[in-house]
A and B are shown apart, each in its own frame.
Chain A
Amino acid sequence: MPLHYGSQIEEHHAVRRDAGMFDVSHMAVLDLKGESVRPFLRRLFANDVAKLKIAGKALYTCMLNDDGGILDDLIVYFLTEEHFRLVVNAGTTAKDVEWISAGARDFGVKVREREDLAMIAVQGPNARRKAAVALDSELSEQAAELSPFSATQWGDYFVARTGYTGEDGWEVILPKQRAAEIWDRFLDLGIDACGLGARDTLRLEAGMNLYGSDMDESTTPLESALSWTVSWEPEDRRFTGRDALEAQRSEGVQRKLVGLLLEGRGVMRAHQRVVVDGIGDGEITSGTYSPSLARSIALARVPAATGSRCEVDIRGRLQGARVVKPPFVRNGQPCIDL
């Protein structure tokens, strides 16, 4: 995926106002099969796949190491009792496959990386309506019924009502050899091609973390604004990393991930220093210019005691910023006061 196909800002607005698409084939699809796949995943993930009761339902979760550090964040789909599907980050695929396969052996679960599949995300208020025309009518009918965060299968095609932009839309998984043709069909139907640049501004406005930037193995979900994805109940579910998280929780979490809105002009960028008066320093983990708000927004890891204001060291100058709770923008609408 290129950074942009023309104008990054126009691509961003296309997704917020109409329909845009991303070639996300670099992400990996892992199919896990076996009789004990559910018990295995209840052990592997911090969120609990026991919540997945209806076929096609999706769950967002972190996969932790023994120290509670985040190995990856991913979406898991429940397809049948013997088949769950994971969509994981590109940069972590090799590590994930190794980690998952090592654990899977004890449960008799087979892990298969689906390198034969491609993935196109169509996103925006008009994305589903426009994209439906390009799909086989049977698949299209199934997809039209999807509620948010669920998926349907049709042969090797898979459509999920999920995304990484804060807008409605689908993520379409399809055979690799059909991807270029479908992409061109989507283009003809008025879905704009969008690049990595717009993908980043959209996900940041939506308050979604990026693995490797906002979190990694050195941070836990509790320090990454992802406590809501940790399923503590039932207490006897001993998922990997649970002991470390429980220890951190009882000792008190020292850092937190927050949203920042810059008060003046300029753009916050990753790794800039955050100064919290009387409390300590933090760091911007992701920062950008928000095309929807025409202001700079960021995610930052700061001391837990941080209140409602801080300053950011932008090119040697301290500039005021407000601490806010993401998302910044959802479904085309600002979620914070400017």
Chain B
Amino acid sequence: MSEIPSDLKFTKSHEWVRVEDDGSLTVGVTDHAQEALGDLVFVEVPEVGATLKAGEACAVVESVKAASDVYSPVSGEVQEANEALAEQPERLNEDAYGEGWIMRIQAESDAELEGLMDAEAYGAFLEQES
């Protein structure tokens, strides 16, 4: 069973979101998603300064099996991207909620964040999916 930290928010496309102290949001893909993808071999992170819409493809995670898009959970501007993943994509497999983060984004508003699932809802969603 994959890990679901209780302090995060989740999307149906298996991204996670953490609210940082400065109000920005850190985004990654969930442990469940990395497990389903298998060994990652390439990660393409978004460009810093890019403006994203909620649901827009912003990154690509590619495993030995297949390439998958990562979708931005909220609309906003990319503040920081985890460039280290380009050299060490396996970090995402090893630590999806920590070292494997994808980007930090400044959301336009709180509204989209409110619409995301909490850990309990995401857990139920995974059970329903399987």
Q: Check if B38 sits within 8 Å of A267, measured CB to CB.
A: no
Q: How far is the CA of A289 from the CA of B38 in the complex (A)?
A: 13
Judge if A197 is at the interface, Cβ distance under 8 Å.
yes
Instruction: Tell me how many residues of B have a C-beta within 8 Å of chain A.
Output: 12
Does B67 contact A197, Cβ atoms closer than 8 Å? no
A221, chain B: closest CB distance, angstroms:
29
A266 in contact (CB, < 8 A): yes
User: Is there an interface contact between B64 and A265, defined as CB atoms closer than 8 Å?
Assistant: no
Most A-side CB within 10 Å, residue of B39, B60, B67: B39
Neighbour of B41 across the interface among A269, A289, A315, CB < 8 A: A289
Residues of A within 8 A of B38 (CB): 3-4, 7-8, 197
Shortest CB distance B86–A (Å): 8
When chains A and B are docked, how far (Å) is the Cα of A315 from the Cα of B44?
A: 13
A197 with B64: CB separation less than 8 A: yes
Q: Complex: how many Å from CA A203 to CA B3?
A: 35
User: Known contacts being A197-B64, A201-B64, A267-B62, is A7 close to B39, with CB within 8 Å?
Assistant: yes
**A9 B39 Cβ-Cβ under 8 A:** yes
Tell me whether B65 is interfacial, beta carbon within 8 Å: yes
A265 and B39 form a contact (CB under 8 A): no
Contact between chains at B67 and A289 (CB < 8 Å): no
- A267 contacts B39, C-beta separation under 8 Å: no
Residue A61 at the B interface, CB < 8 A?
Answer: no
| Given A8-B39, A265-B42, A267-B41, A197-B62 contact (CB < 8 Å) | no
Residue on B nearest A201 in the bound complex, by CB: B64
Given A8-B38, A9-B39: A266 in contact with B65 (beta carbons within 8 A): no
Q: How far is the CA of A3 from the CA of B86 in the complex (A)?
A: 25
Contacting A at CB under 8 A, from B54-87, are: 60, 62, 64-67, 86
A3–B35 alpha-carbon span in the complex (Å): 13
Contact between B42 and A266, CB atoms less than 8 A apart: yes
Q: Which of B41, B44, B64, B67 has the most CB of A within 10 A?
A: B64
Taking a contact as CB atoms under 8 Å apart, the answer to whether A288 and B42 are in contact is: no
Contact A288 B67, beta carbon cutoff 8 Å:
no
Question: Roughly how many angstroms separate A265 CA and B42 CA in the complex, as a whole number?
Answer: 7
Q: Cα distance A323–B62 when bound, in Å? A: 23
A9 vs B41: C-alpha distance when bound (angstroms): 10
Interface residues of A in 262-301 (CB under 8 A from B): 265-267, 269, 288-289, 291
Q: Report the Cα distance A288→B65, complex, angstroms.
A: 8
A3 CA to B63 CA, complexed, in Å: 13
Residues of chain B contacted by A9 (CB below 8 angstroms): 39, 64
A6 to chain B, nearest CB (A): 10
A1-60 contacts to B, CB under 8 A, are 3-4, 7-9
Contacts beyond the supplied A288-B64, A289-B62: 4 A-B pairs with Cβ under 8 Å: A8-B39, A197-B65, A266-B62, A269-B66
A-B contact pairs, 13 of them (CB 8 A): A3-B38, A4-B38, A8-B64, A9-B39, A197-B65, A265-B42, A265-B44, A267-B62, A267-B64, A289-B41, A289-B42, A291-B64, A315-B60
